[in-house]
Structure 1
Protein backbone atom coordinates (compact mmCIF):
# COMPACT_ATOMS: atom_id res chain seq x y z
CA UNK A 1 0.00 0.00 0.00
CA UNK A 2 1.33 3.44 -0.94
CA UNK A 3 2.19 5.74 1.95
CA UNK A 4 3.25 9.13 0.64
CA UNK A 5 2.63 11.30 3.69
CA UNK A 6 3.69 14.55 2.01
CA UNK A 7 1.23 14.08 -0.86
CA UNK A 8 -1.46 12.96 1.57
CA UNK A 9 -1.00 16.14 3.62
CA UNK A 10 -1.30 18.24 0.45
CA UNK A 11 -4.55 16.48 -0.48
CA UNK A 12 -5.92 16.87 3.07
CA UNK A 13 -5.12 20.59 3.19
CA UNK A 14 -6.78 21.05 -0.20
CA UNK A 15 -9.83 19.10 0.99
CA UNK A 16 -10.21 21.18 4.15
CA UNK A 17 -9.94 24.39 2.12
CA UNK A 18 -12.61 23.21 -0.34
CA UNK A 19 -14.93 22.13 2.48
CA UNK A 20 -14.47 25.52 4.19
CA UNK A 21 -15.46 27.29 0.96
CA UNK A 22 -18.44 24.94 0.74
CA UNK A 23 -19.48 25.98 4.24
CA UNK A 24 -19.32 29.64 3.23
CA UNK A 25 -21.53 28.98 0.21
CA UNK A 26 -23.93 27.01 2.41
CA UNK A 27 -24.15 29.91 4.85
CA UNK A 28 -24.90 32.42 2.08
CA UNK A 29 -27.55 30.24 0.42
CA UNK A 30 -29.02 29.17 3.76
CA UNK A 31 -29.58 32.81 4.67
CA UNK A 32 -31.54 33.44 1.48
CA UNK A 33 -33.37 30.17 0.87
CA UNK A 34 -34.83 27.31 2.85
CA UNK A 35 -32.03 25.15 4.25
CA UNK A 36 -33.81 21.90 3.34
CA UNK A 37 -34.00 22.95 -0.31
CA UNK A 38 -30.33 23.97 -0.39
CA UNK A 39 -29.20 20.65 1.10
CA UNK A 40 -31.53 18.74 -1.23
CA UNK A 41 -30.01 20.22 -4.40
CA UNK A 42 -26.54 19.65 -2.98
CA UNK A 43 -27.41 16.00 -2.38
CA UNK A 44 -28.66 15.49 -5.94
CA UNK A 45 -25.21 16.28 -7.30
CA UNK A 46 -23.52 14.37 -4.50
CA UNK A 47 -25.62 11.26 -5.19
CA UNK A 48 -24.64 11.32 -8.86
CA UNK A 49 -20.98 11.58 -7.86
CA UNK A 50 -21.33 8.77 -5.32
CA UNK A 51 -23.03 6.45 -7.81
CA UNK A 52 -20.30 7.08 -10.38
CA UNK A 53 -17.54 6.36 -7.84
CA UNK A 54 -19.28 3.29 -6.41
CA UNK A 55 -19.94 1.85 -9.87
CA UNK A 56 -16.32 2.37 -10.85
CA UNK A 57 -14.98 0.70 -7.72
CA UNK A 58 -17.52 -2.14 -7.47
CA UNK A 59 -18.22 -2.81 -11.14
CA UNK A 60 -21.98 -2.19 -10.99
CA UNK A 61 -24.58 -0.34 -8.96
CA UNK A 62 -26.07 -3.64 -7.80
CA UNK A 63 -22.69 -4.76 -6.47
CA UNK A 64 -22.12 -1.41 -4.75
CA UNK A 65 -25.54 -1.56 -3.05
CA UNK A 66 -25.17 -5.14 -1.80
CA UNK A 67 -24.86 -5.19 1.99
CA UNK A 68 -25.77 -7.54 4.86
CA UNK A 69 -26.66 -4.52 7.04
CA UNK A 70 -29.03 -2.33 5.00
CA UNK A 71 -30.84 -0.82 8.01
CA UNK A 72 -27.60 0.36 9.57
CA UNK A 73 -26.33 1.71 6.25
CA UNK A 74 -29.59 3.58 5.68
CA UNK A 75 -29.42 5.03 9.18
CA UNK A 76 -25.90 6.28 8.47
CA UNK A 77 -27.13 8.05 5.36
CA UNK A 78 -30.01 9.69 7.25
CA UNK A 79 -27.68 10.68 10.09
CA UNK A 80 -25.26 12.49 7.77
CA UNK A 81 -28.09 14.27 5.94
CA UNK A 82 -29.50 15.44 9.26
CA UNK A 83 -26.06 16.56 10.44
CA UNK A 84 -25.56 18.68 7.31
CA UNK A 85 -28.95 20.36 7.74
CA UNK A 86 -28.27 21.11 11.41
CA UNK A 87 -24.79 22.45 10.69
CA UNK A 88 -26.03 24.76 7.92
CA UNK A 89 -28.63 26.09 10.37
CA UNK A 90 -25.73 26.73 12.74
CA UNK A 91 -23.82 28.65 10.06
CA UNK A 92 -26.88 30.82 9.44
CA UNK A 93 -27.73 31.41 13.10
CA UNK A 94 -24.27 31.54 14.68
CA UNK A 95 -21.77 32.13 11.87
CA UNK A 96 -18.81 30.14 10.59
CA UNK A 97 -16.33 31.05 13.33
CA UNK A 98 -18.24 29.93 16.41
CA UNK A 99 -19.98 27.03 14.64
CA UNK A 100 -16.67 25.48 13.60
CA UNK A 101 -15.08 26.21 16.97
CA UNK A 102 -17.79 24.16 18.68
CA UNK A 103 -17.98 21.50 15.95
CA UNK A 104 -14.23 20.83 16.35
CA UNK A 105 -15.04 18.72 19.43
CA UNK A 106 -16.42 15.83 17.34
CA UNK A 107 -13.16 13.76 17.41
CA UNK A 108 -13.32 13.87 21.21
CA UNK A 109 -16.90 12.58 21.13
CA UNK A 110 -15.76 9.76 18.85
CA UNK A 111 -13.00 8.92 21.29
CA UNK A 112 -15.38 8.92 24.26
CA UNK A 113 -18.04 6.79 22.53
CA UNK A 114 -15.71 4.33 20.82
CA UNK A 115 -15.76 2.19 23.96
CA UNK A 116 -19.50 1.60 24.39
CA UNK A 117 -20.27 1.51 20.64
CA UNK A 118 -17.25 -0.27 19.14
CA UNK A 119 -15.97 -2.09 22.21
CA UNK A 120 -12.59 -0.34 22.03
CA UNK A 121 -10.52 0.21 25.15
CA UNK A 122 -10.50 3.89 26.11
CA UNK A 123 -7.71 4.63 28.58
CA UNK A 124 -7.53 7.37 31.16
CA UNK A 125 -5.43 9.59 28.91
CA UNK A 126 -8.10 9.66 26.20
CA UNK A 127 -10.83 10.25 28.76
CA UNK A 128 -8.79 13.10 30.22
CA UNK A 129 -8.28 14.59 26.74
CA UNK A 130 -12.03 14.35 26.09
CA UNK A 131 -12.76 16.08 29.39
CA UNK A 132 -10.29 18.87 28.65
CA UNK A 133 -11.80 19.26 25.18
CA UNK A 134 -15.27 19.73 26.63
CA UNK A 135 -13.88 22.33 29.00
CA UNK A 136 -12.78 24.12 25.83
CA UNK A 137 -16.33 23.91 24.50
CA UNK A 138 -17.61 25.42 27.75
CA UNK A 139 -15.09 28.26 27.39
CA UNK A 140 -16.54 28.93 23.93
CA UNK A 141 -20.16 28.76 25.13
CA UNK A 142 -19.55 30.66 28.39
CA UNK A 143 -22.56 29.23 30.24
CA UNK A 144 -23.47 31.15 33.36
CA UNK A 145 -22.05 34.44 32.08
CA UNK A 146 -25.24 35.57 30.40
CA UNK A 147 -23.84 35.27 26.88
CA UNK A 148 -24.72 31.65 26.04
CA UNK A 149 -26.40 31.63 22.64
CA UNK A 150 -29.20 29.06 22.24
CA UNK A 151 -28.15 28.77 18.59
CA UNK A 152 -24.95 27.07 19.80
CA UNK A 153 -27.01 23.91 20.18
CA UNK A 154 -26.91 23.54 16.37
CA UNK A 155 -23.15 22.94 15.92
CA UNK A 156 -23.04 20.96 19.17
CA UNK A 157 -25.82 18.66 17.95
CA UNK A 158 -24.12 18.44 14.56
CA UNK A 159 -20.87 17.39 16.27
CA UNK A 160 -22.67 14.56 18.09
CA UNK A 161 -24.37 13.44 14.86
CA UNK A 162 -21.10 13.51 12.92
CA UNK A 163 -19.26 11.66 15.68
CA UNK A 164 -21.92 8.93 15.68
CA UNK A 165 -21.71 8.83 11.89
CA UNK A 166 -17.93 8.38 12.11
CA UNK A 167 -18.29 5.56 14.63
CA UNK A 168 -20.87 3.82 12.45
CA UNK A 169 -18.49 4.14 9.50
CA UNK A 170 -15.97 2.09 11.45
CA UNK A 171 -18.65 -0.38 12.55
CA UNK A 172 -20.09 -1.09 9.08
CA UNK A 173 -16.54 -1.30 7.63
CA UNK A 174 -16.23 -4.65 9.41
CA UNK A 175 -18.61 -6.18 6.85
CA UNK A 176 -18.92 -3.68 3.97
CA UNK A 177 -16.46 -2.07 1.57
CA UNK A 178 -15.90 1.69 1.51
CA UNK A 179 -17.57 1.81 -1.93
CA UNK A 180 -20.74 0.27 -0.51
CA UNK A 181 -20.82 2.64 2.46
CA UNK A 182 -20.18 5.62 0.18
CA UNK A 183 -23.01 4.52 -2.12
CA UNK A 184 -25.53 4.23 0.70
CA UNK A 185 -24.42 7.56 2.18
CA UNK A 186 -25.16 9.50 -1.00
CA UNK A 187 -28.27 7.72 -2.26
CA UNK A 188 -30.14 7.48 1.06
CA UNK A 189 -29.35 11.11 1.82
CA UNK A 190 -30.56 12.21 -1.62
CA UNK A 191 -33.83 10.29 -1.29
CA UNK A 192 -34.47 11.59 2.23
CA UNK A 193 -33.68 15.20 1.37
CA UNK A 194 -35.82 15.07 -1.77
CA UNK A 195 -38.76 13.79 0.29
CA UNK A 196 -38.59 16.79 2.61
CA UNK A 197 -36.91 19.42 0.44
CA UNK A 198 -39.36 19.51 -2.45
CA UNK A 199 -42.02 20.86 -0.08
CA UNK A 200 -39.82 23.90 0.54
CA UNK A 201 -38.83 24.76 -3.01
CA UNK A 202 -38.15 28.45 -3.64
CA UNK A 203 -37.25 30.19 -6.92
CA UNK A 204 -33.60 31.22 -7.09
CA UNK A 205 -31.85 34.05 -8.90
CA UNK A 206 -29.39 33.32 -11.68
CA UNK A 207 -26.45 34.37 -9.50
CA UNK A 208 -27.51 32.10 -6.67
CA UNK A 209 -27.97 29.19 -9.09
CA UNK A 210 -24.33 29.73 -10.07
CA UNK A 211 -23.35 29.68 -6.40
CA UNK A 212 -25.45 26.55 -5.93
CA UNK A 213 -23.49 24.98 -8.78
CA UNK A 214 -20.25 25.91 -7.02
CA UNK A 215 -21.62 24.38 -3.82
CA UNK A 216 -22.39 21.09 -5.58
CA UNK A 217 -19.04 20.96 -7.34
CA UNK A 218 -17.14 21.81 -4.15
CA UNK A 219 -18.88 18.97 -2.32
CA UNK A 220 -17.87 16.41 -4.95
CA UNK A 221 -14.36 17.87 -5.21
CA UNK A 222 -13.88 17.82 -1.44
CA UNK A 223 -14.86 14.16 -1.18
CA UNK A 224 -12.67 13.27 -4.16
CA UNK A 225 -9.72 14.94 -2.44
CA UNK A 226 -10.45 12.99 0.74
CA UNK A 227 -10.56 9.75 -1.22
CA UNK A 228 -7.20 10.58 -2.78
CA UNK A 229 -5.84 11.52 0.66
CA UNK A 230 -6.56 8.11 2.14
CA UNK A 231 -5.39 6.36 -1.02
CA UNK A 232 -1.87 7.75 -0.75
CA UNK A 233 -1.31 8.07 3.02
CA UNK A 234 -2.29 6.52 6.33
CA UNK A 235 -5.24 8.21 8.02
CA UNK A 236 -3.38 8.64 11.32
CA UNK A 237 -0.65 10.64 9.60
CA UNK A 238 -2.91 13.15 7.83
CA UNK A 239 -5.93 13.39 10.16
CA UNK A 240 -4.45 16.19 12.36
CA UNK A 241 -4.47 18.46 9.31
CA UNK A 242 -8.26 18.16 9.13
CA UNK A 243 -8.37 20.83 11.85
CA UNK A 244 -7.25 23.35 9.23
CA UNK A 245 -10.89 23.48 8.13
CA UNK A 246 -11.54 25.44 11.33
CA UNK A 247 -8.81 27.92 10.36
CA UNK A 248 -10.01 28.30 6.77
CA UNK A 249 -13.68 28.61 7.75
CA UNK A 250 -12.92 31.14 10.47
CA UNK A 251 -10.82 33.21 8.06
CA UNK A 252 -13.68 33.15 5.55
CA UNK A 253 -16.19 34.17 8.20
CA UNK A 254 -14.06 37.10 9.31
CA UNK A 255 -13.02 38.41 5.89
CA UNK A 256 -16.19 37.78 3.87
CA UNK A 257 -19.09 37.69 6.33
CA UNK A 258 -17.77 40.29 8.79
CA UNK A 259 -17.69 37.95 11.78
CA UNK A 260 -15.41 38.57 14.74
CA UNK A 261 -13.16 36.18 16.62
CA UNK A 262 -13.89 36.74 20.30
CA UNK A 263 -11.04 35.94 22.74
CA UNK A 264 -13.03 33.27 24.58
CA UNK A 265 -13.81 31.54 21.26
CA UNK A 266 -10.15 31.55 20.23
CA UNK A 267 -9.04 30.21 23.64
CA UNK A 268 -11.76 27.56 23.72
CA UNK A 269 -11.02 26.44 20.16
CA UNK A 270 -7.32 26.15 20.97
CA UNK A 271 -8.15 23.92 23.96
CA UNK A 272 -10.48 21.74 21.88
CA UNK A 273 -8.00 21.36 19.01
CA UNK A 274 -5.10 20.61 21.38
CA UNK A 275 -7.12 17.90 23.11
CA UNK A 276 -8.16 16.47 19.75
CA UNK A 277 -4.58 16.40 18.48
CA UNK A 278 -3.47 14.62 21.64
CA UNK A 279 -6.21 12.02 21.11
CA UNK A 280 -5.06 11.45 17.52
CA UNK A 281 -1.45 11.19 18.70
CA UNK A 282 -2.38 8.56 21.29
CA UNK A 283 -4.40 6.58 18.72
CA UNK A 284 -1.44 6.64 16.35
CA UNK A 285 0.94 5.39 19.05
CA UNK A 286 -1.47 2.60 20.01
CA UNK A 287 -1.78 1.57 16.36
CA UNK A 288 2.02 1.44 15.96
CA UNK A 289 2.38 -0.56 19.16
CA UNK A 290 -0.24 -3.05 17.98
Structure 2
Protein backbone atom coordinates (compact mmCIF):
# COMPACT_ATOMS: atom_id res chain seq x y z
CA UNK A 1 0.00 0.00 0.00
CA UNK A 2 1.27 3.47 -0.91
CA UNK A 3 2.27 5.72 2.00
CA UNK A 4 -0.08 8.63 2.61
CA UNK A 5 1.18 10.57 5.64
CA UNK A 6 -1.53 13.24 5.51
CA UNK A 7 -4.29 10.61 5.59
CA UNK A 8 -2.45 8.78 8.37
CA UNK A 9 -2.33 11.94 10.48
CA UNK A 10 -6.05 12.57 9.96
CA UNK A 11 -6.84 8.98 10.94
CA UNK A 12 -4.66 9.23 14.05
CA UNK A 13 -6.41 12.44 15.13
CA UNK A 14 -9.80 10.75 14.67
CA UNK A 15 -8.55 7.69 16.55
CA UNK A 16 -7.37 9.72 19.54
CA UNK A 17 -10.70 11.57 19.59
CA UNK A 18 -12.63 8.29 19.77
CA UNK A 19 -10.28 6.94 22.45
CA UNK A 20 -10.93 10.10 24.47
CA UNK A 21 -14.69 9.52 24.14
CA UNK A 22 -14.08 5.96 25.34
CA UNK A 23 -12.29 7.31 28.40
CA UNK A 24 -15.22 9.60 29.21
CA UNK A 25 -17.70 6.72 28.92
CA UNK A 26 -15.43 4.49 31.02
CA UNK A 27 -15.29 7.13 33.75
CA UNK A 28 -19.09 7.44 33.74
CA UNK A 29 -19.61 3.67 33.93
CA UNK A 30 -16.93 3.11 36.57
CA UNK A 31 -18.54 5.69 38.84
CA UNK A 32 -21.60 3.44 39.17
CA UNK A 33 -20.28 -0.06 38.41
CA UNK A 34 -17.37 -2.35 39.18
CA UNK A 35 -14.29 -1.48 37.09
CA UNK A 36 -13.22 -5.09 36.53
CA UNK A 37 -16.69 -6.05 35.25
CA UNK A 38 -16.72 -3.12 32.81
CA UNK A 39 -13.31 -4.02 31.40
CA UNK A 40 -14.34 -7.69 31.15
CA UNK A 41 -17.42 -6.90 29.03
CA UNK A 42 -15.38 -4.50 26.94
CA UNK A 43 -12.83 -7.29 26.30
CA UNK A 44 -15.53 -9.74 25.19
CA UNK A 45 -16.43 -7.41 22.35
CA UNK A 46 -12.78 -6.62 21.67
CA UNK A 47 -11.87 -10.32 21.44
CA UNK A 48 -14.66 -10.93 18.92
CA UNK A 49 -13.38 -8.02 16.84
CA UNK A 50 -9.77 -9.26 17.06
CA UNK A 51 -10.74 -12.80 15.97
CA UNK A 52 -12.66 -11.41 12.97
CA UNK A 53 -9.68 -9.27 11.92
CA UNK A 54 -7.25 -12.16 12.42
CA UNK A 55 -9.36 -14.55 10.35
CA UNK A 56 -9.58 -12.05 7.50
CA UNK A 57 -5.88 -11.13 7.46
CA UNK A 58 -4.37 -14.57 8.16
CA UNK A 59 -6.95 -16.83 6.55
CA UNK A 60 -7.70 -18.76 9.75
CA UNK A 61 -7.63 -18.37 13.50
CA UNK A 62 -4.97 -21.10 13.78
CA UNK A 63 -2.67 -19.21 11.41
CA UNK A 64 -3.13 -15.98 13.37
CA UNK A 65 -2.49 -17.69 16.70
CA UNK A 66 0.71 -19.43 15.55
CA UNK A 67 3.62 -18.18 17.66
CA UNK A 68 6.90 -19.43 19.11
CA UNK A 69 6.53 -17.22 22.17
CA UNK A 70 3.07 -17.90 23.68
CA UNK A 71 4.15 -17.00 27.22
CA UNK A 72 5.33 -13.58 26.08
CA UNK A 73 2.16 -12.99 24.09
CA UNK A 74 -0.08 -14.00 27.00
CA UNK A 75 1.94 -11.77 29.32
CA UNK A 76 1.45 -8.83 26.92
CA UNK A 77 -2.31 -9.35 26.71
CA UNK A 78 -2.64 -9.76 30.46
CA UNK A 79 -0.55 -6.66 31.15
CA UNK A 80 -2.65 -4.49 28.84
CA UNK A 81 -5.92 -5.70 30.38
CA UNK A 82 -4.67 -4.92 33.88
CA UNK A 83 -3.35 -1.54 32.71
CA UNK A 84 -6.81 -0.61 31.42
CA UNK A 85 -8.31 -1.54 34.81
CA UNK A 86 -5.77 0.66 36.56
CA UNK A 87 -6.33 3.62 34.22
CA UNK A 88 -10.13 3.47 34.49
CA UNK A 89 -9.71 3.44 38.27
CA UNK A 90 -7.57 6.57 37.91
CA UNK A 91 -10.40 8.28 36.00
CA UNK A 92 -12.71 7.68 38.96
CA UNK A 93 -10.31 9.05 41.58
CA UNK A 94 -8.52 11.82 39.64
CA UNK A 95 -10.67 12.57 36.60
CA UNK A 96 -9.73 12.60 32.94
CA UNK A 97 -7.58 15.74 32.95
CA UNK A 98 -5.09 14.85 35.68
CA UNK A 99 -5.01 11.15 34.84
CA UNK A 100 -4.07 11.83 31.24
CA UNK A 101 -1.61 14.57 32.20
CA UNK A 102 0.34 12.06 34.30
CA UNK A 103 -0.16 9.16 31.88
CA UNK A 104 1.40 11.27 29.09
CA UNK A 105 4.83 10.37 30.47
CA UNK A 106 4.62 6.80 29.10
CA UNK A 107 6.74 7.52 25.95
CA UNK A 108 9.47 8.77 28.28
CA UNK A 109 9.25 5.53 30.26
CA UNK A 110 9.51 3.56 27.02
CA UNK A 111 12.65 5.48 26.08
CA UNK A 112 14.15 5.00 29.55
CA UNK A 113 13.38 1.27 29.68
CA UNK A 114 14.30 0.48 26.07
CA UNK A 115 17.93 0.03 27.13
CA UNK A 116 17.54 -2.58 29.90
CA UNK A 117 14.57 -4.35 28.25
CA UNK A 118 15.50 -4.29 24.55
CA UNK A 119 19.21 -3.54 24.69
CA UNK A 120 18.78 -0.32 22.71
CA UNK A 121 21.14 2.62 23.10
CA UNK A 122 19.65 5.79 24.58
CA UNK A 123 21.74 8.90 23.86
CA UNK A 124 22.40 11.71 26.29
CA UNK A 125 19.92 14.03 24.53
CA UNK A 126 17.06 11.63 25.12
CA UNK A 127 18.17 11.08 28.73
CA UNK A 128 18.01 14.86 29.23
CA UNK A 129 14.54 14.93 27.68
CA UNK A 130 13.46 12.05 29.95
CA UNK A 131 14.73 13.95 32.99
CA UNK A 132 12.93 17.14 31.93
CA UNK A 133 9.76 15.14 31.30
CA UNK A 134 9.77 13.77 34.81
CA UNK A 135 10.27 17.27 36.16
CA UNK A 136 7.00 17.99 34.36
CA UNK A 137 5.39 15.07 36.21
CA UNK A 138 6.62 16.54 39.50
CA UNK A 139 5.10 19.90 38.54
CA UNK A 140 1.77 18.13 38.06
CA UNK A 141 2.02 16.27 41.36
CA UNK A 142 3.28 19.32 43.32
CA UNK A 143 5.21 17.41 46.00
CA UNK A 144 6.09 19.69 48.89
CA UNK A 145 3.34 22.22 48.12
CA UNK A 146 0.42 20.05 49.16
CA UNK A 147 -0.24 16.68 50.69
CA UNK A 148 0.66 14.12 48.01
CA UNK A 149 -2.46 12.30 46.93
CA UNK A 150 -1.96 8.52 46.82
CA UNK A 151 -4.41 8.49 43.91
CA UNK A 152 -1.78 10.25 41.79
CA UNK A 153 0.24 7.04 41.83
CA UNK A 154 -2.55 5.21 39.97
CA UNK A 155 -2.10 6.82 36.51
CA UNK A 156 1.68 6.73 37.06
CA UNK A 157 1.43 2.97 37.57
CA UNK A 158 -0.76 2.75 34.48
CA UNK A 159 1.84 4.65 32.43
CA UNK A 160 4.57 2.28 33.62
CA UNK A 161 2.45 -0.76 32.73
CA UNK A 162 1.60 0.63 29.29
CA UNK A 163 5.27 1.44 28.63
CA UNK A 164 6.23 -2.11 29.55
CA UNK A 165 3.46 -3.43 27.31
CA UNK A 166 4.82 -1.33 24.44
CA UNK A 167 8.34 -2.66 24.97
CA UNK A 168 7.12 -6.27 25.13
CA UNK A 169 5.17 -5.66 21.92
CA UNK A 170 8.34 -4.48 20.19
CA UNK A 171 10.19 -7.51 21.55
CA UNK A 172 7.45 -9.86 20.32
CA UNK A 173 7.60 -8.23 16.87
CA UNK A 174 11.05 -9.75 16.35
CA UNK A 175 9.37 -13.13 15.74
CA UNK A 176 5.62 -12.50 15.33
CA UNK A 177 3.75 -10.29 12.88
CA UNK A 178 1.26 -7.59 13.84
CA UNK A 179 -1.80 -9.78 13.23
CA UNK A 180 -0.52 -12.48 15.59
CA UNK A 181 0.30 -9.99 18.34
CA UNK A 182 -3.08 -8.28 17.91
CA UNK A 183 -4.84 -11.66 18.13
CA UNK A 184 -3.09 -12.59 21.38
CA UNK A 185 -3.69 -9.12 22.83
CA UNK A 186 -7.44 -9.44 22.51
CA UNK A 187 -7.94 -13.12 23.27
CA UNK A 188 -5.58 -13.53 26.22
CA UNK A 189 -6.86 -10.29 27.74
CA UNK A 190 -10.46 -11.51 27.38
CA UNK A 191 -9.66 -14.86 29.01
CA UNK A 192 -7.85 -13.27 31.96
CA UNK A 193 -10.52 -10.63 32.51
CA UNK A 194 -13.27 -13.28 32.38
CA UNK A 195 -11.51 -15.48 34.93
CA UNK A 196 -11.25 -12.50 37.28
CA UNK A 197 -14.21 -10.34 36.32
CA UNK A 198 -16.93 -12.98 36.48
CA UNK A 199 -16.61 -12.89 40.29
CA UNK A 200 -17.40 -9.16 40.27
CA UNK A 201 -20.57 -9.37 38.20
CA UNK A 202 -23.34 -7.06 39.38
CA UNK A 203 -26.60 -5.75 37.88
CA UNK A 204 -26.29 -2.79 35.55
CA UNK A 205 -29.02 -0.26 34.79
CA UNK A 206 -30.58 -0.08 31.32
CA UNK A 207 -29.00 3.33 30.65
CA UNK A 208 -25.57 2.02 31.68
CA UNK A 209 -26.00 -0.97 29.34
CA UNK A 210 -26.57 1.49 26.51
CA UNK A 211 -23.35 3.28 27.47
CA UNK A 212 -21.61 -0.11 27.71
CA UNK A 213 -22.66 -1.03 24.18
CA UNK A 214 -21.47 2.38 22.98
CA UNK A 215 -18.14 1.80 24.73
CA UNK A 216 -17.69 -1.55 22.97
CA UNK A 217 -18.58 -0.14 19.54
CA UNK A 218 -16.30 2.88 19.88
CA UNK A 219 -13.52 0.60 21.08
CA UNK A 220 -13.74 -1.57 17.98
CA UNK A 221 -13.96 1.53 15.78
CA UNK A 222 -10.88 3.11 17.40
CA UNK A 223 -8.78 -0.03 17.02
CA UNK A 224 -9.88 -0.46 13.41
CA UNK A 225 -8.91 3.14 12.67
CA UNK A 226 -5.57 2.61 14.40
CA UNK A 227 -4.87 -0.39 12.18
CA UNK A 228 -5.73 1.68 9.11
CA UNK A 229 -3.52 4.52 10.37
CA UNK A 230 -0.44 2.30 10.49
CA UNK A 231 -1.35 0.78 7.12
CA UNK A 232 -1.20 4.12 5.29
CA UNK A 233 1.56 5.94 7.20
CA UNK A 234 4.77 5.27 9.10
CA UNK A 235 4.37 5.00 12.87
CA UNK A 236 7.08 7.60 13.51
CA UNK A 237 5.19 10.15 11.41
CA UNK A 238 1.82 9.80 13.14
CA UNK A 239 2.81 8.86 16.72
CA UNK A 240 3.30 12.48 17.90
CA UNK A 241 -0.38 13.14 17.15
CA UNK A 242 -1.36 10.48 19.71
CA UNK A 243 -0.77 13.19 22.32
CA UNK A 244 -3.98 14.84 21.14
CA UNK A 245 -5.83 12.29 23.26
CA UNK A 246 -4.72 14.37 26.26
CA UNK A 247 -6.25 17.47 24.66
CA UNK A 248 -9.53 15.76 23.71
CA UNK A 249 -9.85 14.03 27.10
CA UNK A 250 -9.24 17.35 28.86
CA UNK A 251 -11.96 19.02 26.80
CA UNK A 252 -14.40 16.23 27.68
CA UNK A 253 -13.37 16.36 31.34
CA UNK A 254 -13.90 20.12 31.58
CA UNK A 255 -17.06 20.47 29.48
CA UNK A 256 -18.94 17.28 30.40
CA UNK A 257 -17.48 16.05 33.69
CA UNK A 258 -17.16 19.40 35.47
CA UNK A 259 -13.39 19.10 35.96
CA UNK A 260 -10.98 22.02 36.13
CA UNK A 261 -7.46 22.38 34.78
CA UNK A 262 -5.15 23.65 37.51
CA UNK A 263 -2.21 25.81 36.31
CA UNK A 264 0.41 23.36 37.54
CA UNK A 265 -1.31 20.53 35.62
CA UNK A 266 -1.33 22.54 32.40
CA UNK A 267 2.32 23.59 32.79
CA UNK A 268 3.46 20.10 33.81
CA UNK A 269 1.56 18.45 30.97
CA UNK A 270 3.13 20.86 28.46
CA UNK A 271 6.61 19.95 29.77
CA UNK A 272 5.87 16.21 29.63
CA UNK A 273 4.42 16.38 26.11
CA UNK A 274 7.29 18.56 24.87
CA UNK A 275 9.86 16.13 26.25
CA UNK A 276 7.95 13.19 24.80
CA UNK A 277 7.79 14.77 21.35
CA UNK A 278 11.54 15.38 21.48
CA UNK A 279 12.25 11.72 22.32
CA UNK A 280 10.03 10.63 19.42
CA UNK A 281 11.86 13.04 17.09
CA UNK A 282 15.27 11.80 18.25
CA UNK A 283 14.19 8.17 17.75
CA UNK A 284 13.06 9.01 14.21
CA UNK A 285 16.32 10.83 13.48
CA UNK A 286 18.33 7.87 14.76
CA UNK A 287 16.31 5.41 12.67
CA UNK A 288 16.78 7.59 9.57
CA UNK A 289 20.54 7.85 10.08
CA UNK A 290 20.91 4.09 10.58
CA UNK A 291 19.10 3.51 7.29
Segment of structure 1 superposing worse, 86-95 or 192-201: 192-201
1:111-150 deviation line (CA, Å, top 9, x unaligned): 0111111111100001111010000000000112224211
Does 2:251 correspond to 1:251? yes
Equivalent runs, 1:154-193 vs 2, <5 Å: 154-193=154-193
Q: Distance in 1 between matches of 2:236 and 2:187?
A: 28
Equivalent runs, 1:44-123 vs 2, <5 Å: 44-123=44-123
* Residue matched to 1:239: 239
Q: Distance in 1 between matches of 2:2 and 2:26?
A: 35
Secondary structure at 1:284's aligned position in 2?
helix
Q: CA RMSD in A?
A: 0.7
TM-score by length of structure 2 reads 0.99
1:201-229 deviation line (CA, Å, top 9, x unaligned): 11111111110001001111111111000
Q: Distance in 2 between matches of 1:129 and 1:202?
A: 45
Q: Distance in 2 between matches of 1:114 and 1:55?
A: 32
Secondary structure at 1:259's aligned position in 2?
coil
1:58-108 deviation line (CA, Å, top 9, x unaligned): 111111111000000000011000000000000001000000000000000
Equivalent runs, 1:201-220 vs 2, <5 Å: 201-220=201-220
Q: Distance in 2 between matches of 1:144 and 1:75?
A: 37
Q: Distance in 1 between matches of 2:119 and 2:42?
A: 35
Shift, 1:264, TM fit: 0.2
* Residue matched to 2:24: 24
Q: Distance in 2 between matches of 1:280 and 1:245?
A: 16
TM-score by length of structure 1 reads 0.99
Shift, 1:2, TM fit: 2.0
* Residue matched to 1:36: 36
Secondary structure at 1:146's aligned position in 2?
coil
Q: Distance in 1 between matches of 2:288 and 2:116?
A: 23
Q: Distance in 1 between matches of 2:181 and 2:231?
A: 16
Q: Distance in 2 between matches of 1:10 and 1:64?
A: 29
Q: Distance in 2 between matches of 1:177 and 1:103?
A: 27
Q: Distance in 1 between matches of 2:2 and 2:275?
A: 29
Q: How many residues end up aligned between the 2 structures?
A: 290
Does 2:131 correspond to 1:125? no
Equivalent runs, 1:194-205 vs 2, <5 Å: 194-205=194-205
Does 2:273 correspond to 1:263? no
* Residue matched to 1:225: 225
* Residue matched to 2:137: 137
Residue ranges of structure 2 left out of the alignment (5+ in a row):
none
> Could you list the runs of 4 or more consecutive aligned residues of structure 1 that deviate by over 2 angstroms after TM superposition?
none
Segment of structure 1 superposing worse, 145-154 or 39-48: 145-154
